[in-house]
Amino acid sequence: MVTILLLIVIYIAFIGLGIPDSLFGTAWPAIYSEYGLPLSFGSFVTVIISSCTALSSIMSARLINRLGTSRVTLYSTALTAVAILGISYTGNFVYLCLCAIPLGLGAGSIDTALNNYVALHYSSSQMSFLHCFYGIGITVSPYVLSVMINSPLGWRGGYRIAFYIQAAITLTVLISMPLWRKSLQLERRQESPDDTGQTVHEESINELSLKQVAAIPGVKLMWCMFLASVAIEMTAGGWGSTFLVENKGLAPDRAASTIMFYFVGIAVGRFLSGVFAGKLGEWRIIGIGMTILGIALISLLLAPTTLMATISLFLIGLGNGPLFPNFNYLTPQNFGEENSPAVIGTQMAVASLSMMITPVFCGLIGQWLGMWIFPLYLLLFYLLLISCTIGLRKVLTHC
C-alpha cells in the first residue's frame, strides 16, 4: 500500500514537471504584446530555461546523494512554483529572464530524480505511465491560460492559477515525506528480514564528472539516442502545423487543430507501452516503436494528401512516444544502478539541449529551402537513432 501511495505522489509530482513546460510558449504572445517586445525575444527566455535545466540535470546526482530523492523532489517543485509566481508579477523583460533561472534549475533536478527513482524501484510500465502524467501537466497549462487570457487578469491570472496548482503539488510532496522513508524501510526488510533498524537512507551513488560518465561504454551512444528521439518529438510538434500549411495547403486554424493528433499519438504510444511492457519487455517495445516511427516518416515524406500526412504524424507520435521513458528505464540495467543518477542526469541535459536547438535548425533550414525539408530533417535524426541503437546493443552484448 505504501509503494502504491508513493507512486501516486510521484505521478502527481510529474504533472508539476509538465505544467511550466508549455506555460511560457502559450503565454508569450500576450507577454510580448504587453511588454512591447519583438516576437523573437521569447527565444532568450527558452534558452535560459533549457540551459539551466541542462546544468541542473548534470548536477543532480550530487544533489540526490546529499538530499535524497524525496527532498530533491520537494525543493525542485517548490522552486518552480516560486518561479511561476515570480513571472506572474514581473514588470519587464529583465525580471522575466531572472525568473527563468530557478524555473530551469528546478525542472532539471526533479526530472532526473524521479526518472531514476522509478527506474530503480518500479517497473517499466510505471515509467511509461509516469510520462503520461507529464502529458497531463503540459496539457493543463494551455487550457488554464486559454480560460484566463481574456479575463481582466489576463496571462498573469493564468500563471497564478498555475502557481496554485504547483503549490498544491508541493504541499502533497511535503505531506508524503514519511512515505518515502517507509517505502525504503519495506525494501530493506524484504532484502534483509533481520534488519529492523529504523534509520534508513537511500543507497550511496557515484558522483561522476561529465568526463567520467562519458567514459562509461555505451553512454555516448545513448546520448545520441536521446538527442535524436527528442529532436524528432520537438521538431514534429513545433513545425508539423507549419508543414501542413505550407506543403499541404491546410488553413492555419485547421492545421493547429490537426497537429493535436500528433500529441494524441505520443500519449497513446506511452499508454500502450505501459500496458504491454510486462509482456513484451523494454527492448522489444523500443524495436516496435522504431519500426512504426520509420514507416510513419517515410509515409509523411510520400504523403499525397492532408489525411495521409495527418495519419503519418499520429504514427510518428505513436512510435516515438514510448522511446524516451524506456530509454530512461533501461539506464540502471545498461550502466549500473550506482551510476544511473549521474547517467540519467546527463541524458536529461542532452534532451534539454536537443529540445532547445534542433527545432531552431529545422526552422532556419525551412526558411532557406522551404518546409518540404521537414520530413527529410526528421528522417536524418531517425537514421542517427537507428544506428546508435544498433551500436549500443553491440556494446552491451560485449560488456
Q: Where is pLDDT greater, at 200 or 363?
A: 363
Mean local confidence (pLDDT), 240-250: 83
| C-alpha–C-alpha distance, residues 57 and 106, integer Å | 9
Tally Cβ neighbours within 10 Å of residue 70.
24
pTM exceeding 0.85: no
What are the residues whose beta carbons fall under 8 Å from the beta carbon of 252, sequence distance 6 or more? 241, 245
Percent of the chain with pLDDT over 90: 40
DSSP assignment letter at 123: -
CATH 2.40.50.140 corresponds to the domain 210-398: no
pLDDT at 129: 85
140 against 99, higher pLDDT: 99
Rounded to a whole number of angstroms, the distance between the first and last alpha carbons of the chain is: 38
- CA 239, distance to chain mean position in Å, is 18
User: Which CATH number does the domain 2-189 belong to among 3.60.15.10, 3.40.50.10860, 1.20.1250.20, 1.20.20.10?
Assistant: 1.20.1250.20
| pLDDT, position 170 | 95
Contact 119, 328 (CB under 8 A): yes
Question: Which residue, 44, 19, 54, 278, is CA-closest to 158?
Answer: 19
Nearest to 269 by CA among 243, 244, 296: 296
pLDDT score of 175: 94
pLDDT score for 262: 87
Q: What is the pLDDT of residues 322-348, one digit of tens each?
A: 999 999 899 989 998 888 888 988 998
Predicted pLDDT of residue 122: 85
The pLDDT value recorded for residue 124 is 83
In this chain, the answer to whether the domains covering 2-189 and 210-398 adopt an identical fold is yes
What average pLDDT is seen over the chain? 86
Q: If pLDDT is split at 50, 70 and 90, which confidence band does 191 have?
A: low
Residue 371 reports pLDDT greater than 90: no
Of the candidate ranges 20-34, 124-138, 178-192, the one whose mean pLDDT is the lowest: 178-192
The answer, yes or no, to whether residue 209 has pLDDT greater than 60, is yes
Q: How far apart are CA 307 and CA 311, in angstroms?
A: 6
- pLDDT, residue 188, reads 62
Cell 508513493 belongs to residue: 6
Output the pLDDT for position 83.
95
The domain spans of the chain are 2-189, 210-398
pLDDT over threshold 80, residue 14: yes
Q: Determine contact, residues 42/32, Cβ cutoff 8 Å.
A: yes
Model confidence at 167, pLDDT cuts 50, 70, 90, reads very high
pLDDT tier, 204 (very low <50, low <70, confident <90, very high otherwise): low
If you search the block for the grid coordinates 505522489, which residue do you land on? 9
How sure is the predictor about 234, in pLDDT bands with cuts at 50, 70 and 90? Answer: confident
C-alpha distances (whole Å) from 327 to each of 60, 121, 334 are 18, 16, 10
pLDDT at 147: 80
Q: What is the pLDDT of residues 28-82, one digit of tens each?
A: 778 888 888 887 787 788 889 888 988 998 888 888 888 888 899 999 999 999 9
